[in-house]
Amino acid sequence: MKHYEVEILDAKTKDKLCFLDKVEPNATIGEIKSMFHKSHPQWYPARQSIRLDPKGKSLKDEDVLQHLPVGTTATFYFRDLGAQISWVTVFLTEYAGPLLIYLMFYFRVPFIYAPKYDFTTSKHWVVHLACMCHSFHYVKRLLETLFVHRFSHGTMPLRNIFKNCTYYWGFAAWMAYYINHPLYTPPIYGEQQIRLALIVFLFCQIGNFSIHIALRNLRPPGSKTRKIPYPTKNPFTWIFLLVSCPNYTYELGSWLGFTLMTQCLPVAFFTLVGFIQMTVWAKGKHRSYLKEFRDYPTLRSPILPFIL
């Protein structure tokens, strides 16, 4: 059996960082990263980007050396991805923040509103309903992070946690300030509008959860296998017939329901910004499905059936 010699160069300077002798042909990029880590302890595997070209795409950890377009002396290029943090930690932090921040405004802790309103409660029942819906949404997200989601990538750059938390925590504070404000006025169409909004919100929350369960069941524990998601016996998953990323479709529906319920401009703006971001993600996921699976259903749209 022939063995490979592997040299790893710095992608920026082209300096040789490491030379590995007698590497097995069936060694994966993940195993090569571990070997590289032994000689450079500061660059743990999750922090490494190994590529065939200095400006090319990162190779996957599961890529096998003998299946790559390299000779018996393989040259790879290394790029430092920076300090990494686990996806679970990021999600727990960015979701716990809005939950606690919103409750601070709901209970009107001191220094938010005028002193005479400290620890008072709103006279409008929609304010209490909105607090329950907002709390339910983020408790659901926290539980899904812990018990449902299976991440294809274990980590993300540490800087992302500051960006993500600024987004979620900032919007939560902005929305909560106005919804729980002593001068807040209920929706113009009263109970009918609120009840319709609640139905939309709960329907989409159940739908979102159903999609997350369906996606989880596609990927065995510890696997990075990707499959085409299809509808299951659960009616909430039938939207897979028309949409590639129905989890985002339902998420959008939930926030539209919350906007209708509170009739609050910051909530509407949060919904719009979220919709734009989720559309970007959905289009990217849709493209990757089309690229990876030749038999991918052509009827599907990224996020909105027949539209977008």
Q: Is the pLDDT of residue 133 over 70?
A: yes
For the chain, what is the radius of gyration of the CA atoms?
24
**Both structure tokens of 74:** 């393989």
Burial category of 19 from C-beta neighbours within 10 Å (exposed 0-12, middle 13-18, buried 19 and up): exposed
Kindly list the structural domains of the chain, giving each domain's residue range(s) and its CATH number in brackets, ordered by start. 4-82 (3.10.20.90), 86-290 (no CATH)
The CA distance from 129 to 126, in Å, is 5
Are 290 and 226 within 8 A, CB to CB?
no
**Both structure tokens of 214:** 């369906």
pLDDT digits 0-9 by tens, 163-172: 999 999 999 9
The CA distance from 203 to 245, in Å, is 17
| Highest-pLDDT range among 85-89, 106-110, 294-298 | 106-110
As a whole number, mean pLDDT of residues 196-217 equals 96
Burial category of 80 from C-beta neighbours within 10 Å (exposed 0-12, middle 13-18, buried 19 and up): middle
Q: Is the pLDDT of residue 2 over 80?
A: no
Q: Is the pLDDT of residue 206 over 70?
A: yes
Q: Is the pLDDT of residue 300 over 90?
A: yes
- Residue 152: pLDDT band (50, 70, 90) is low
**Alpha helical stretches, state H, the chain:** 29-39, 87-106, 125-147, 159-179, 190-218, 246-262, 265-292
Q: Is the pLDDT of residue 70 over 90?
A: no
Which range is least confidently modeled, 62-71, 123-132, 189-198? Answer: 62-71
The chain-wide mean pLDDT, for the chain, equals: 91
Q: Is the pLDDT of residue 222 over 70?
A: no
Share of the chain above pLDDT 90, in %: 59
- Residue 174: pLDDT band (50, 70, 90) is very high
Is pLDDT larger for residue 154 or for residue 24? 24
- Residue 46: pLDDT band (50, 70, 90) is confident
- Residue 212: pLDDT band (50, 70, 90) is very high
- Residue 73: pLDDT band (50, 70, 90) is confident
As a whole number, mean pLDDT of residues 178-184 equals 95
The CA distance from 171 to 267, in Å, is 8
